[in-house]
Amino acid sequence: MQGHDWLSVVIWLPVAGGLLTLAIGDRRAQAARWAALLTSLATLAACVPLCTGFVNGTAAFQFIERVPWIAALHAQYYLGVDGISLPLIVLTAFMTVPVIIAGWNVVEKRPAQYFAAFLVMEGLMIGVFASLDALLFYFFWEAMLIPMFVIIGIWGGPRRVYATLKFFLYTFLGSVLMLVALIYLYLKAGDYSLASMQRLPLSLVEQRWIFLAFLLAFAVKVPMWPVHTWLPDAHVEAPTGGSVILAAIMLKMGGYGLLRFSLPITPDASHELDWLIVALSLIAIVYIAFVALVQQDMKKLVAYSSIAHMGFVTLGAFLVFFILSATGQVKGAVNGLDGAMVQMISHGLISGALFLCIGVLYDRMHTRDISAYGGVVNVMPKFGALFVLFALANSGLPGTSGFIGEFLVILASFKASFWFALLAASILVVGAAYNLWLIKRVVFGPVANDKVAQLQDLNGREFLVLGVLAVSVVLLGVWPAPLLDMMEASVQHLLQQVVTSKIPVI
């Protein structure tokens, strides 16, 4: 297990590759593209030993790297993965490759900088998932904002400056209070390692404040209703690649933070305030789904559907206490946490794929207005098939990965309360509605206008990208066992942490 610094490789290889791409420069764009692609592939390849070397059935962290980093602050360069973080790391490495390929010829403005920004961000995002030291986590968490700020601002749409400033300031505002909470925990625990923070006894009052500080940071990232308003703006204005990374990976950081920080560090406050999260999640699931229904812009539609789907993640994560009080045993709660995790991975694949599909259309038509399309399948049969598949997966069609996560969470909510389940399940109807209506208007029907009639079907590059994603979505949908096995022990361990009170006994 030890002795191989694969985690450092998957963090710093893309960063180094990004700097190299930047150094190659826009004048040698073709070389820069290849450098970026090779880096992203090499990073994905470096995830293979992580997966094969990973031992299921233990909650202990693996591939640990631990060296002193800042002695003055007792912070360490402390990396490690468990069943919760490894899938997210693989997802990050996996989704960066299509982003690079999708931008291959499409990005004409400063291509080297474009690819470099995505590679640097890949490394930083993996760093977030791999950090076991809170300060290191925060370091990556904040640093990641810089490339995303630049990506939306340079390659975005007409209102990109507004969108990127909103994105940056919103997330920055959410994060700084988390920093205060982390420093507070450090002063009590003596170092920044997550393990000591999770062990640290805390009074309910302290937990409540820390929980709220964490919640603000993670809720903005997830994003939960009502702090979601930055997301539609950011998505609409971001270039295709930016939307993919935003939806597929960055949103997951909020969910990951809730699982890694909020629940284990402040379990009692989580218990006390779980109604808040559940309520916000249900509002997101139901209300935002209706908002998605009326969108005219395809990207906005998928953005709102992302918020609704991430509602399942937060719901699944915080159902545990309701299940505990309803059934008196923790067994059923596993479903909720499992569902939250699967939903994150699955949503990463599906939303990424949908944004790529929209990017394919946008590259040809330069509009994302749903009303500008119609009958696309007549001229783009391959594209039509894949788009329909992803849209159905997005609405939770059995046999696709979208089904597994939602099903597990709804299963768990039944154990908590019938009404939760009813509300959560309603998304299956509304979700089906907005997804089906989207494909009805865009893909099916007669060819709407001359522009649509002249559309070219997917080229090899696009087909490869979407095809691989389609296979993954279906594979995860029919055979989720490897993922569930990988998470099993870690989720059980998390559950133990969550139900153990940390209030010091006086």
Partner 1 sequence: MTGAIVVSPLVTGMSLSSLLPAIPEISLAISACLILLVDVYFGAGRRGLTATLTMLALLVGAMLTMQYGMRMDRILLFHSLYVADPLAAFLKLAGYIAMATALFYSQDYLHTRGIHGGEYYVLCLTALLGIFVLISANSLLTVYLGIELLSLSLYALVAFDRESGIAAEAAIKYFVLGAIASGALLYGMSMLYGMTGTLDLDQLGTTVRHGPDAGLIIGIAFVVAAVAFKLGAVPFHMWVPDVYQGAPTSVTLYIATVSNLGSFALILRLLAHGLAGLPQIWTQMLIAVAVLSLLIGNLTAIAQTNLKRMLAYSAIANAGFVLLGFATGQIAGYQAALNFTIAYVLTTLAAFGMILMLSRSGFEHDEIADFKGLSSRDPLLAALMLVLMFSTAGVPPFIGFWAKLWIIQALLGSGHVWLATFAVLISVVGAFYYLRVVWYMYFEDAGERERPDTRPRMRLILLLNTAAVTVMGLLPNALLSICERVIP
Alpha carbon distance 282, 224 (integer Å): 10
Told to check if 204 binds partner 1 by CB under 8 A, we report no
* Residue that has been written with the tokens 């997101």 in this structure: 284
Told to check if 375 binds partner 1 by CB under 8 A, we report no
Q: Contact at 8 Å (CB) between 470 and 383?
A: no
Alpha carbon distance 69, 49 (integer Å): 26
Alpha carbon distance 94, 79 (integer Å): 20
Q: How many residues bind partner 1 (CB under 8 A)?
A: 36
Alpha carbon distance 208, 104 (integer Å): 48
Q: Contact at 8 Å (CB) between 344 and 90?
A: no
CB of residue 187 to partner 1, shortest distance in Å: 6
Q: Between residues 94 and 140, which has the closer beta carbon with respect to partner 1? A: 140
Residue (of 263, 258, 266, 262) closest to 205 by Cα position: 266
Q: Between residues 89 and 150, which has the closer beta carbon with respect to partner 1? A: 150
Told to check if 290 binds partner 1 by CB under 8 A, we report no
Neighbour count for residue 496 (Cβ, 10 Å): 12
Q: How far are the Cα atoms of 90, 204, 267 from residue 501, in angstroms, in the given order?
A: 33, 10, 7
Told to check if 484 binds partner 1 by CB under 8 A, we report no
Alpha carbon distance 14, 9 (integer Å): 8
Q: Which helix (H) or strand (E) holds 474?
A: helix 460-478
Q: Between residues 160 and 502, which has the closer beta carbon with respect to partner 1? A: 160
Q: What radius of gyration, in Å, describes the C-alpha atoms of the chain?
A: 22
- Residue of 12, 104, 184, 444 interacting with partner 1 (CB under 8 A): 184
Of 53-61, 173-181, 221-229, 421-429: span binding partner 1 (CB under 8 A): 173-181
Residue (of 349, 427, 339, 397) closest to 91 by Cα position: 349
Told to check if 146 binds partner 1 by CB under 8 A, we report yes
Of 100-108, 149-157, 196-204, 290-298: span binding partner 1 (CB under 8 A): 149-157
Told to check if 106 binds partner 1 by CB under 8 A, we report no
Q: Between residues 243 and 306, which has the closer beta carbon with respect to partner 1? A: 243
Told to check if 164 binds partner 1 by CB under 8 A, we report yes
Told to check if 429 binds partner 1 by CB under 8 A, we report no
* Residue that has been written with the tokens 């992580």 in this structure: 50
300: its two tokens? 């906005």
**Which residues 19-58 are close enough to bind partner 1 by CB under 8 A?**
25
446: its two tokens? 């007669």
x/- binding map, residues 73-102, to partner 1, per CB under 8 A? x-----------------------------
Told to check if 453 binds partner 1 by CB under 8 A, we report no
Alpha carbon distance 293, 281 (integer Å): 18
- Residue of 139, 261, 321, 373 interacting with partner 1 (CB under 8 A): 139
* Residue that has been written with the tokens 């490394």 in this structure: 123
Told to check if 153 binds partner 1 by CB under 8 A, we report yes
- Residue of 45, 48, 180, 453 interacting with partner 1 (CB under 8 A): 180
Told to check if 281 binds partner 1 by CB under 8 A, we report no
- Residue of 7, 145, 349, 354 interacting with partner 1 (CB under 8 A): 145
Chain residues that interact with partner 1, rule: CB under 8 A: 25, 68-73, 110, 113, 138-140, 142-143, 145-146, 149-150, 153-154, 160-161, 164-165, 168-169, 172-173, 176-177, 179-180, 183-184, 186-187
